[in-house]
Amino acid sequence: MKASLAMPIIVSVSIFLFAVESKTLDPYKVLGVDRSASQREIQKAFHKLSLQYHPDKNKNKGAQEKFAEINNAYDILSDEEKRKNYDLYGDEKGSSGFDPGNSGQHGGYTYFTSGGPGQSGFTFRPGDWQNMGGQGGSKSFSFSFGGPSSQSSFGFGLDDIFSNFFGGDRGGNHFGGFGGSGRSQYGGAGSTPKSIPPVNSLVYQKEISDKGITWLLLSYKSTSRGMQYYESVIGEVAASLKGALKVGSVNCDTETSFCKELGIHPHRTPRLLVYSYKSSESGTLVEYNNDLDAKNLKSFCQDHLPKFSKRVNLDHFDFASETVGVLPKVMLLSTKRDTPVIWRVLSGLYHKSFVFCDAEVHDVSDPMVRRLGVDALPAIVGWLSNGEKHNLKTGISVKDLESAIQDLSALLDKFEKMNEKAATAKSKKDGTKPDDGKIPLLTPYNFGDICGQETPVCIIGAFRSSKARDNLEHILRMVSQKSLSRRRNVAFGSRDSVSYALLDAAKQQSFLTALDKSGFKSVDQLLVAYKSRKGKFATLQSGLTTEEAEKFISSVLNGDVQFTKIRQKPTLK
């Protein structure tokens, strides 16, 4: 009885398989691109259609199915091998669309496929159904239909016919819906980003952490949903900010401890984070939680670009005092109300080599602009550390962001070398060592010269990690140029009221223990104001930014900081 009932179903399906041509969806037509389209054109088309039909935004009937078709089409055309196979055979897997099968293929069962994208069909394997009416009841059949829905191939609801056997509803994971088992609701769970380079803890430390460049990071798991859509949006933003922004992906299945350390472990959906320099000189990870579209994400990334350039008013700019210091200075003159993106990017890349500032001007006839000798805008003016002025570039034209950053980077590299030559020439003339702008590390040999009895106040940046050292060195280099603290004292230079130095607290713990019994062992970095003559000290342990350091040192010079008597005279080993 069971066999007689099964036979009509199999015969009916067979008739439709050979009598009706299933609907094959052309991925090029789905995305609306030519066969000669570039990957960039394919990506843009996918992104545009994804925004239009995304299930979270489009509740119209058929939008869900259309979104699945778009994802399937992009899955084929974004993969070089799949696209080549489709162009040659009409099937991304490289088959001609019909495989008759035999006892030695597919586990001894016949396999039919219409080809085309999706391949989301269903399989009848040996033993799944008993007494099917076939020879010996041991054969089984596999049917795979092109496109995201088997109903669109046959014109009637195969879901209804086979619902009892598959145990699923419409749009389930066996066929139809979003493209078959193993795929997420939004197309493509379990995939690894194709165009986003992977990032691990080593790459993070060497290329991202406090390197002055903004990064957009995607953290995901193998079960994360919507990976293709995320990748498309990130790709569009990265292309529009090429040169200003780098992108990377973190697989939290393989980099579990790294993700937990950074606090970026995703859940059902991926997470987008920007390595930001918006609020401090040390980079921090800030999560993006707005709508996932290229316009909003690009705006968010731009907002978190470095802000190391100081906005100045030329009418109140003191050329005599502001243009002489340890580091060379560069100023951008433009008509922009805010610091331009290019200048913000450069200020991040070179923030340890130059002091950056920028000013809004609208006419080269402005007296202050004429004083600088600028005849066309935008313009970059530079001052060597000895105060010598140079017009580095005027009438700057920008073709695209990436090439402009490359051109201006070459300009700054050249100016930095010019400053080194000027410092060397000056040292030969004066008979002194060149001031390379570096903050000296305290040793038993230079301690007396830098922080000895003849120095009223010695500002010491004590560190216990390489990251803390970089931060403190940058802070002290910036602060040492300010008029509030006068010039930085060095072993071979003149005696000023303040000198600056670094201390490796991990190797020179006894120095800090001589000041205080605790030795500040729980602190990774701190500033110490040490008065050798009076045997007193004061510290700044929190809020270690340039601004806070300036306030602290100003208070020290003005006598507004309470000093503590040292336990014993500190020495270095």
Interval 280-323: pLDDT, tens: 767 899 999 998 889 999 999 999 999 889 899 888 777 666 66
Q: Which residue has the higher pLDDT, 453 or 216?
A: 216
Answer whether residue 246 is part of any domain: yes
Q: Which residue has the tokens 């054109």?
A: 41
Q: Is the pLDDT score of 119 beyond 80?
A: no
Torsions phi, psi for 80 (to 5 deg): -55, -45
Q: Are residues 75 and 137 in the same domain?
A: yes
Q: Are residues 424 and 452 in the same domain?
A: no
Q: Are residues 117 and 249 in the same domain?
A: no
What is the domain range of residue 136? 2-166
The last residue of one of the domains, among 282, 303, 324, is: 303
Answer whether residue 83 is part of any domain: yes
- Using CA atoms, how far apart are residues 501 and 443, in angstroms rounded to an integer? 10
CB–CB of 221/275 below 8 Å?
no
Q: Are residues 151 and 207 in the same domain?
A: no
Q: Are residues 299 and 317 in the same domain?
A: no
The last residue of one of the domains, among 251, 268, 303, is: 303
Q: How many Cα atoms are found within 13 Å in the side-chain-facing hemisphere of 421?
A: 7
| CA dihedral sign, ordered 441, 445, 449, 455 | positive
Q: Are residues 217 and 294 in the same domain?
A: yes
What does the H/E/C string look like for 424-455? HHHHHHHCCCCCCCCCCECCCCCHHHHHCCCC
CB–CB of 488/326 below 8 Å?
yes
Answer whether residue 468 is part of any domain: yes
pLDDT in tens, 22-76: 345 899 999 999 988 888 888 888 888 888 887 777 888 888 888 888 888 888 8
Nearest to 484 by CA among 561, 401, 547, 432: 547
Q: Is the pLDDT score of 491 beyond 60?
A: no
Q: Which two tokens stand for residue 4?
A: 């007689």
Q: Are residues 332 and 286 in the same domain?
A: no
Nearest to 122 by CA among 135, 132, 109, 138: 109
Per-residue pLDDT at 19: 38
Q: What's the number of domains the chain is made of?
A: 4
Q: Are residues 414 and 451 in the same domain?
A: no
Q: Are residues 18 and 146 in the same domain?
A: yes
**Residue 130's domain is classified under what CATH number?**
1.10.287.110
Residue type, 432: T
pLDDT in tens, 374-416: 999 999 999 998 889 999 999 998 889 999 999 999 999 999 9
Mean pLDDT of the chain: 76
- Using CA atoms, how far apart are residues 434 and 431, in angstroms rounded to an integer? 9
The last residue of one of the domains, among 148, 166, 184, is: 166
| CA dihedral sign, ordered 433, 435, 441, 447 | positive
Q: Are residues 471 and 417 in the same domain?
A: no
Most confident of 120-134, 177-191, 499-513: 499-513
Q: Are residues 92 and 156 in the same domain?
A: yes
**Residue 404's domain is classified under what CATH number?**
3.40.30.10
Residues in the chain: 573
Q: Are residues 55 and 147 in the same domain?
A: yes
First to last CA, the chain: 96
